[in-house]
Each structure stands twice: as C-alpha cells, then as structure tokens.
Structure 1
C-alpha cells in the first residue's frame, strides 16, 4: 500500500527497482501528508532517473534515522530539534548544527546537552553519506562539538537517598528514586523497566539492546528495592519524575543534586565496597574503562596502605 499508519504516525511507501522506499510523514502527520510525501518520493525517483539527485531535507533524514531504531532518550533530544531542522536542506546540516550550538549556548544549555543533540545530527549526516548515499560529501566531519569539562559528581549517603524518597510528594516517584540509587539505572532505562520492557528473573533485571550503549545489560536487584521492582509498573511518567524530584530536592535542601547523581551514587557505593572496577564497568554499562575510572579515586585504601608501608620501612 502506498500510504499506511503505524503507531499513530503516517508513512509513505514506494516500490522501485525491487526496493521498498519508506518514509515517515512526521509525528503529527495526516493521511493527506502521507499522500503528498508519496507523490514527492515518486517525483524524486523521476528526477533520479534523468540524472538529477533527489534533494532531501534534514527532517527526512532524521525520520529515516528513527526508523532504524533509536532509544527513548534520543527521541526526546530529536523532539527539541524539530524547529531547527524542519524543511532545511540536508546539504546544510553542518551549518544548521552551528546555529543550534550558538542558540543553545546563548540559552545557557549545558555543553554536555548540546553535544548530545549535535551528536545525533552528526550520526544522521554520517549515515546519509556512508549508507544511504543522500550526500555527496561527509558533512558529519564538519560538525564541531563544544568542549565538555569534567562533570562534577555528587555522591549521596544511603540516609540521604531515603530522605529524598520520603520527601517526595508522590510516593511512587519516591520508590523510583530508591530503585535508581540501588540499581544505577539511567532515567530512560528505569522508565522502560517500569513499563515492562525488561525481564526480571531470579533477582536479575535483564535489559535488551535498547540501552544507551546499544548492548544488553544484566543488573542484580538488591534486597532494598526487590519489593518495589515486583510492584512495577507504577503510575509514573517522565514529567512526574522531573516535577516531584525537584520538589523533593528543594524540601531536603539539596537543590544542586540532579537525578543522574543517583547513578553516580550507585557507582560510588560499589567502589567503596571494594567491587573491582571491571565489575563496576559492567554493572554501569560503560562502554570504556575510562568512564569507570572517574570513580577510582573513591577506592583510595590501597594508596593509604602503600604510604603506611613506606613509613614503616623507613622507621625500621
């Protein structure tokens, strides 16, 4: 069929030379939008036949990128970019990225947030050049990223985590706070677990390859939150998490503590319990040991022991 609807989104589909060309008409599209898109695809094919390469827009390339599968977090970032990319030529993607970078910097957005958004568009540009052949040059190489300084980490004590959970106006969000701290799950992963997109068996949470790194993960569930995990799904959404987390941190005088600090807290508890860094890397789902090494300063007992051994040898 030339147009169809799936998960609330209209698509156009055309068969050409034994290949199926499918494009999304957009999140808020109608059947008429899909029909227009189908007509445009056919026009592009005609131009291609006579040697004129189809001219794609950035949002068309992003739609194709989404169709190949992305995480919830990536989708959230893409939604914030719609006003910048809609209708803009794909051949201008590096210039559009520069506009986005300058605008977000002027708005005071964190460098790490800007990098995450630009990295998505750079990945789109790379695919458009290397795989889809929609670009004649590697424009992804022209997309520069702002420098990100080493992020500050805040590590909470178990009592502080419980205080935040208890201060949360919504008890279910309070339970999610405890699960985040005792499993190290990213916010998106935690929401997916809550929605039933993970298997819990024999005290182990098994996440599929839709994690941030694109690799499956297995996370043991500590006794402290076993009962909460068994209760899931809880009636909690991402906006609810954001709202009630803010209220809890304000009530506890911890306004500078971010949700992601719960993940840092989990890593700090592991390291201070003398869990080997390689195991911490696996539990955190880090792609490289360098990411895990950021917590190595918490395991300083061996340094103290080394200095004490030196002192004793000199005294002897």
Structure 2
C-alpha cells in the first residue's frame, strides 16, 4: 500500500483480497494520505471489501437460479421461472442490462405494466422475487446495496370477502363431478388441504386408530408443507369412511401403482374448474374448497385459533380472513338475541314523545 504521485495527481494504491485498487485524489496529497490510513484501519478490522457492480442481469440470474434450485422446492423454482420470464422481458425492452440499473423509478414502470392485466397480488409476487435477487446480489458483493429496500408492496383490499361454497353449491359440485373428482373434492372439504398437500398424502400419514391425518414433508419428491411445518388434522366420520373406501394401490392414497403420486397438483385444479362450469358455480377455484373448510368451521362455532392450527396458517391474521360469515348466518346470530320490550309498552306510542 502506498501513496504516489504521477504527473500532477496523487494516488493511493492498495490491495483487497488479492485484488489491486488504485484511487486518484488529484492534487490533494493530504487527502490521499488520510484515505490510506482509513484503508489500513479497515483492513486490520476486516471491514474492507470490494464490490464489483459490473454484473449483468442475465449473468447474475444464472448464478441465482443455481442457488434457488438447491434451497427452494421444485414448485417454488417453477413459479420463480415463470415470473422471471415476465421480469426479463420487461428489462430487455427497457434496455436494462446491469443489476445496478434496477431502481425504484424502473419498478414504478414495471408496476404500471403489470397492473394493466393483473391484480396487485401478482405484482407483489414479482416485486418480492426481484428484491430477493437484489438482496443476494448485495450479499455476494455484486451490488453495494438493494435499491428496492424501501419500495412498497401494493395493498390488497381487505373488504373483498373470500369466496366459499354454500351447502347447496357443494351438492351441485359433487353432483357434477365424476367419482374420482367427487372423492378428491370431499377430501379437500373435510381437511382444508392445499392441492400439493393432497397429492403427497401417504397411507403412513394416516393414523386410523387415533383418527389423525398428518401433513409433512416428502424431501425425496421436493415437497414440503407451507412454512415447512408439520400439522395434524383430525379425521371425522365422513373422511374416515372415504379413506377406508379408497383402494390401496401403493404408497400414496392416490397412487399410480408405482409408489408415485397418481396426478400432478395442477390436474386437480383443471378438472375442478370443469366441474364448476358444469355445476354453474361462479367465481370459485380450487382454493375455494380450503376457504369453504375454514368458513364452515367458523360458522359452526369453532374458534379462530383452532381453525388456524387445522389450516396450518403461520399467522392468526391470515386465518381471520377466512372467518367471515355468510349474510344468512349473521342474520340467524342476531335473531338469537332475547331483548323483550317491557310489559305494558304501548307499541303505537311515539318513541320521541314524552311519557
């Protein structure tokens, strides 16, 4: 490390992790000497690191995806790839090549584009992914900092009620389904399972003696429950009969005969949408069955904390979104009040007139 003069300018020459760095200070020798002392102190404390901000989006994306494939589940990586395609197309059209070019102003443009065809939740998913990538870039010394740290996610409307099926709609849906989908729908309705959770339920996950169904990770298939938490769901009489009637063709309750899941998770979504159409049920999807499980539990008087445990939600606030009540149920609840008028009250008397 040294301070030296070339022509009329003063320079500081030093190395960090074997890499040479040369910085010019013009004619200010004192400033160069002061900077060198600061460098020496930071090197002694291990606080000096080189950040190379020359990384391009395509180059870094390859590196990030290698990391993601090791640390994330296959289904999450698949979703990331779909979102990255949209992000990369946008960056390409804007002529953005380097990571350091991604800033809040650019994200405002991206937000405007996404919202033309998608809901706020979709934009939030894309934003979260970009921020995760930039965080890794900063951690791996490819950026000085994540420029999107302060960029806010969009708020989802709290007033929008989550769709759940009424008892009458459930009967219509079951009537429109073939025998296989009818069994699958009943499983969803009686457990609140997510589609990927149903796919990977094994016979060993079912304890008929204690009437408990366990949702847990299947690492060899790249599956894990949301939040990586195991949970236990009691088996009611309807679910017990349904499970006992299923043929045991292999390891899974829906098995292809070779100890592998019979269908991909998306199979259930696509076929259920056809069933909804046939049953003339509007505004519903596969996750509606999960909403229905939670909503009917709450309307039957089950407390929200218990529903949270059954659903496997990480936060009670999430479960509270499921705990809305149907208009009919609210009306019935109010009718339970027994506040009678005092005996002898004149119903024809003007309530605003003096007695």
Which protein has the larger Cα radius of gyration, Structure 1 or Structure 2? Answer: 2
Q: Per-residue deviation at 1:283?
A: 0.9
Match of 1:269 among 296, 301, 306: 296
Residue pairs, 1:278-293, within 5 angstroms = 278-293=305-320
Distance change in 2, residues 1:243/1:212 (3 Å): same
Alignment partners' CA distance in 1, 2:273 and 2:332: 38
| Structure 2 CA distance for partners of 1:58 and 1:158, relative to 1, 3 Å | same
Residue among 233, 247, 254 paired with 1:233: 254
Change (3 A) 1:172 1:76: farther
Q: Distance in 2 between matches of 1:216 and 1:133?
A: 36
**Alpha carbons of structure 1 residues 168 and 113: separation in structure 2 relative to 1, 3 Å:** farther
Structure 1 residues 81-92: aligned runs within 5 Å: 81-85=83-87, 89-92=98-101
- Spell out the pairing of 1:104-115 with structure 2 (5 A cutoff): 104-106=114-116, 108-115=117-124
Q: Secondary structure at the match of 2:200?
A: helix
Alpha-carbon spacing, 1:127–1:182, altered in 2? closer, same or farther (3 Å): farther
SS in 1 for 2:214: strand
Aligned to 1:38: none
Q: What's 1:102 paired with?
A: 112
The alignment partner of 1:206 has SS state of strand
Which moved further from structure 2: 174-183 or 78-87?
Answer: 78-87
Partner of 1:58: 61
Matched-pair contact (CA < 8 Å) for 1:181–1:265: yes
Correspondence 1:3-152 to 2 at 5 A: 49-50=18-19, 53=51, 55=55, 57-70=60-73, 72=75, 74-85=76-87, 89-92=98-101, 94=103, 98=108, 100-106=110-116, 108-129=117-138, 131-150=139-158, 151-152=160-161
Residue 308, structure 1, aligned to residue 337, structure 2: yes
Change (3 A) 1:259 1:102: same
Task: Tell me the secondary structure at the aligned position of residue 274 of structure 2.
Answer: helix
- 1:213-245 per-residue CA deviation (whole Å, 9 max, x = no partner) reads 332222223332335555422532234223222
Is 2:214 the partner of 1:211?
Answer: no
Query: Is the Cα–Cα contact under 8 Å of residues 212 and 234 in structure 2 kept in the other structure?
Result: yes
What's the offset of the Cα at 1:276?
A: 1.4
- Which residue in 2 is equivalent to 1:27? none
Structure number with the higher helix fraction is 1
TM-score computed with the length of structure 2 as normaliser: 0.61
Aligned residues: 261
- Mean Cα deviation higher: 91-100 or 290-299: 91-100
Q: Deviations along 1:233-268, whole A, 9 cap, x unmatched?
A: 253223422322221111111132122111110001
Change (3 A) 1:112 1:61: same
Check conservation: 1:101, 1:114, Cα contact below 8 A. yes
Q: Matched residues in 1 for 2:126 and 2:182: separation?
A: 30
Which residue does the alignment assign to 2:206?
200
Whole-angstrom CA distance in 2 between matches of 1:120 and 1:90: 14
Q: What is aligned with 2:237?
A: 223
TM-score (norm 1): 0.68
For the Cα contact (< 8 Å) 2:162–2:322, is it kept in 1?
no
Instruction: Give secondary structure in 1 for the equivalent of 2:308.
Output: helix
Task: Report what 2:282 is aligned to.
Answer: 255
1:114 shift after superposition: 2.7
Compared with structure 1, are the counterparts of its residues 159 and 297 closer, same or farther at alpha carbon in structure 2 (3 Å cutoff)? closer
**Displacement of 1:109:** 1.9
Per-residue CA deviation, residues 167-226 of structure 1 (Å, 9 max, x unaligned), is 235x43332222112111122322333xx4982223322223622233222222333233
Q: Corresponding residue for 1:11?
A: none
Q: Structure 2: which 5+ runs fail to align?
A: 1-15, 21-49, 218-223, 248-252, 256-261, 344-355
Q: CA deviation at 1:71?
A: 6.6
1:189 aligned residue (197, 210, 214): 197
Aligned to 2:115, the other structure's residue is in SS state: helix
Unaligned stretches of 5+ in structure 1? 1-46
Query: Structure 1 residues 187, 266: closer, same or farther in 2, change over 3 A?
Result: same
Q: Is 1:243 equivalent to 2:273 in the alignment? A: no
